[in-house]
Amino acid sequence: MTGVPPHRSLMVRLLASSILIVVASVAAAAWLAATTATRAVQQESGATLAADSKIFDTLLGYAATHPGWDGVDLTVRALADETGRRIGLATRSGVPIAGRPVDGPGTIVDPLHTASAGVIDARAAGPYRLAEDERAAQHAAAEQRLACLRDQGLRASVTESPTGRAVVHLDRTNPPPQADCGFPEGELTRTEADALRDLTRLANACTRDARLPSVKIVDPMFTWDYDRDTGDPRTAEMQACVDEARREQLRPYVAEPATLWIGSPDRQPLPVFDLSPSSTLRIAGVTGAVLLLAIGSTVIVGTRLVRPLRALTAAAEGSADGPVAVTVHRNDEIGRLAGAFNALSARREHSEQQRRTMVDDIAHELRSPLTNIRNWLTAGQDGLADLDQELLDLLLEETVLLQHMVDDLRDLAAADSGTLRLAPSRCYVADLLRQVVDAHRGPGVTLTLHADADLEADVDPARLRQIVGNLVSNAVRHTPAGGRVTVHAMILDVDLVIAVEDTGVGIAAHDLPHVFDRFWRADPSRARSTGGSGLGLSIARRLTQAHGGDLTAVSTPGAGSVFTVRLPATSPHRRNTP
């Protein structure tokens, strides 16, 4: 609908609401899909990484605690069954050890050079593994110290290192011990002392070659000291000698380095992302929120749309006399509908008022002649009046008046319903107008005609005489004695223009718009002596419009009025005739 701003348009708002709901739904669905897929991929990746890490760590521990790879097949098969991964293990030269190698690069499994910057795996105990009697003594000493600490209310625990040594760990939140429980488990065993001496020997062979001070390994944590009389220490190089000596000492006790391949098994099905209960609840919650948002938006938009429509329905049904005006402050299609509804209500009220007025006017106009006729007839029947020629003339005059009024109403009804039929023909307009002027001549008012004798037009002669006769009759009626009424006729462009000009009393400006209303008279008394039936000008205008023309009026109070008829000079079926 024209005139509605785009942002106020009902179509635009419905489209925007629909787009908003769709975008929210798509965004929520995309977010859910992305979140769920990401979480599933992360879980799958995490499970894969965890499985790969477990495989690598298990085989690294096997290499650190076994002098060779014999018997590793059972471990590899167990890992493959547990993790669902395909595992291959081969020597550095490519000789298969266990499983079946996988295409692509592999990972080196070497307990003496782990992935963490070449650190030696702590599980490689080698010659430091304690004998059973030493292990028992270590545990007994650790339990003795643990009991001493607990007697002081301290929290502590005992763990066993890969070599079998028992180690007491104090909780970091403990206060300082009140009594010295000693460190009996910290003393070197015979096995550890022999291994540390051998390690010291191997390390010093390295330091001598590098011209470094000699070192001494003092505890199972491989803390070392050096001989300060043999030169300045170069700590990093001396530590490298200690580490290399440890590798040389441990090499006979660990498996040789091997290459590990880990991959997906053959014909592995695509991973299925199972939703966890929390993911399911999250999806259900977001879906419910989007559904509630869509329902809420629809309800809000629907309520805003339905409310004015309900107001219009109530206004149309609430009044027994017909629809009444409704107030809807909206600048959109519904607001325009409300405005059209109010305009329709106003037009209906105006039409109803006109109908009531017309009925009243018809009743008033018919009452007087009917009353006169009835009274005279009753008087004659009762012998109160003689039915002579004069009375008969009076009754005939009243009857003619009634017939004239009925004919006028019939003409108006036919014009209103579109059934008024015209019989246009080519005729001389001056002759028709002269007949009208001659019929209305009388004493007191001068009637004059100005028209060319050869003026022709395609009109209905009878209806044209009726039009001009009504105008001339009205002009004569409102022109005082000694005044003039002049009829002009001419062709302007392709139209026949007839103007009836008088020098009468004129029409006031506020009355001029009503001169063509039915039963309207400038005199509010509505007396017939001051005017006719009040239908003449209405009929003249409707007949003019039936010809395809129009009738207008201009007036100056005290100076007179001019009524102008403008008709097509040629009927439609004649205009293109050569």
In this structure, the answer to whether residues 330 and 410 fall within a common structural domain is yes
Residue 448's closest CA among 406, 501, 498? 501
Q: Reduced to 3 DSSP states, what percent helix, strand and coil does the chain have, rounded to the nearest 5?
A: 55, 15, 35
Which residue, chain included where needed, has tokens 């003594």?
A: 137
The residue that leads in pLDDT, 307 or 254, is: 254
Long-range interactions of 284-287: CB distance < 8 A, separation 24+: 286/28, 286/31, 286/32, 287/28, 287/32
Tokens standing for 120?
């030696």
- CB under 8 Å to 447, separation ≥6 — which residues? 437, 440, 441, 472, 476, 484, 485, 486, 487
In this structure, the answer to whether residues 533 and 427 fall within a common structural domain is yes
In this structure, the answer to whether residues 312 and 387 fall within a common structural domain is no
In this structure, the answer to whether residues 309 and 352 fall within a common structural domain is no
Tokens standing for 128?
């430091």
Mean pLDDT for the stretch of residues 174-193: 75
Q: Where a domain ends, among 403, 421, 439?
A: 421
CATH of the domain at 365: 1.10.287.130
Nearest-angstrom CA–CA distance, 383 and 152: 151
CATH of the domain at 556: 3.30.565.10
Which residue, chain included where needed, has tokens 């105990």?
A: 125
Residue 317's SS3 state is: helix
Which residue, chain included where needed, has tokens 């009902």?
A: 10
List residues bridging with 341 in a β-sheet: none
In this structure, the answer to whether residues 293 and 235 fall within a common structural domain is no
238 phi, psi to nearest 5 deg: -70, -40
Q: Which helix (H) or strand (E) holds 380?
A: helix 333-381
Residue 350 falls within a domain, yes or no? yes
List residues bridging with 263 in a β-sheet: 86
Nearest-angstrom CA–CA distance, 511 and 520: 10
Q: Are strands 446-450 and 484-492 parallel, antiparallel or unpaired?
A: parallel
Residue 467 falls within a domain, yes or no? yes
The secondary structure of 425-489 as a DSSP string is: EEEEHHHHHHHHHHHT-BTTBEEEEE--TT-EEEE-HHHHHHHHHHHHHHHHHTS-TT-EEEEEE
Please say whether the beta carbons of 139 and 163 come within 8 A: no
Nearest-angstrom CA–CA distance, 177 and 148: 10
Look at the chain and report how many structural domains it folds into.
Answer: 4
Q: In this predicted model, what pLDDT tens digit does every residue of 65-79 receive, in sequence order? A: 999 999 899 998 998
What's the chain's average pLDDT?
79
Nearest-angstrom CA–CA distance, 262 and 81: 13
In this structure, the answer to whether residues 305 and 227 fall within a common structural domain is no
Q: Where a domain ends, among 391, 421, 451?
A: 421
The residue that leads in pLDDT, 505 or 403, is: 505
In this structure, the answer to whether residues 332 and 307 fall within a common structural domain is no
The residue that leads in pLDDT, 98 or 353, is: 98
Please say whether the beta carbons of 175 and 153 come within 8 A: no
Residue 121 falls within a domain, yes or no? no
Q: In this predicted model, what pLDDT tens digit does every residue of 2-42 receive, in sequence order? A: 555 665 666 666 677 777 777 777 777 677 767 766 766 66
Least confident of 139-143, 306-310, 443-447: 306-310
In this structure, the answer to whether residues 7 and 72 fall within a common structural domain is yes
Checking if the pLDDT of 471 tops 90, the result is yes
Q: In this predicted model, what pLDDT tens digit does every residue of 453-470 receive, in sequence order? A: 889 999 999 889 989 988
Mean pLDDT for the stretch of residues 305-320: 70
Residue 256's SS3 state is: coil
Residue 575 falls within a domain, yes or no? no
List residues bridging with 459 in a β-sheet: 425
Q: Which helix (H) or strand (E) holds 567?
A: strand 560-568
In this structure, the answer to whether residues 404 and 449 fall within a common structural domain is no
Q: No. of H helices and E strands in the chain?
A: 11, 15
In this structure, the answer to whether residues 177 and 298 fall within a common structural domain is no
The residue that leads in pLDDT, 436 or 411, is: 436
Q: In this structure, how many other beta carbons lie within 10 angstroms of the beta carbon of residue 64?
A: 24
Residue 112 falls within a domain, yes or no? no
In this structure, the answer to whether residues 1 and 74 fall within a common structural domain is yes
Residue 576 falls within a domain, yes or no? no
Strand runs (DSSP E) across 171-298, as ranges? 215-217, 224-226, 258-263
Nearest-angstrom CA–CA distance, 437 and 476: 11
Checking if the pLDDT of 265 tops 90, the result is no
Global pTM reads 0.46
Please say whether the beta carbons of 259 and 90 come within 8 A: yes
Residue 405's closest CA among 441, 361, 447? 361
In this structure, the answer to whether residues 206 and 307 fall within a common structural domain is no
Residue 118 falls within a domain, yes or no? no
Q: What is the pLDDT of residue 377?
A: 81
Q: By residue range, what is the domain housing residue 242?
A: 126-260
Residue 113 falls within a domain, yes or no? no
